[in-house]
Amino acid sequence: MDFDIAPPNGVGPLRIGMTRHAANTALDSLRDPSAISESDRLGQRVFRPSGLMISIHCMRDTLEAVELGRPSLQADRVLFQGVDVFVLPAREVVRRVGELTSIEEDPDEDASFVAPDLLLSFWRPFAADDEPEEEQGHYFSSVLLARPGYYDTPAQAAERLQQSS
């Protein structure tokens, strides 16, 4: 199955801003009832038979972010504008996403990148750009799609609130 990341709206049936109840129902629809993982947590995350992890983050009864973790099998693909974020090397994902929007190295984690205009975050535990056999560092391990303001510091949140009023 293909999962197309569509910022700022969501991915698949998971739409940023939907109620927690609707998000739980949408998340449950992505579970394969014939292969339920022991790691599944109702209302939090599912693991598909491919190993793809889909996790939701709700606050104040609203879906604020969706995180997808790299599958171990190619039965599920996670795409952003045609870029397969878990099959291509991290360096290539950054290059291709950079052709579409600004993407910056996370100042706190040099192996991670954020596309702030899209509220996308790409993570891997360490950088091993030139070593494909180091899968955890050569490829991204997760991608997070979030609501506007998700990454804001308290000062940025206050400024955003002031600008919207």
Q: Does residue 97 carry a pLDDT above 90?
A: yes
Residue pair 116/97 in contact (Cβ under 8 Å)? The answer is no
Strand runs labelled E in the chain? 2-6, 10-11, 14-15, 45-47, 53-59, 62-69, 77-80, 83-84, 104-106, 109-115, 120-123, 142-146
pLDDT band, very low/low/confident/very high, at 165 (cuts 50, 70, 90): low
Among residues 126, 125, 117, 123, the alpha carbon closest in space to that of 148 is found at: 117
Q: Does residue 164 carry a pLDDT above 70?
A: no
Q: Does residue 91 carry a pLDDT above 80?
A: yes
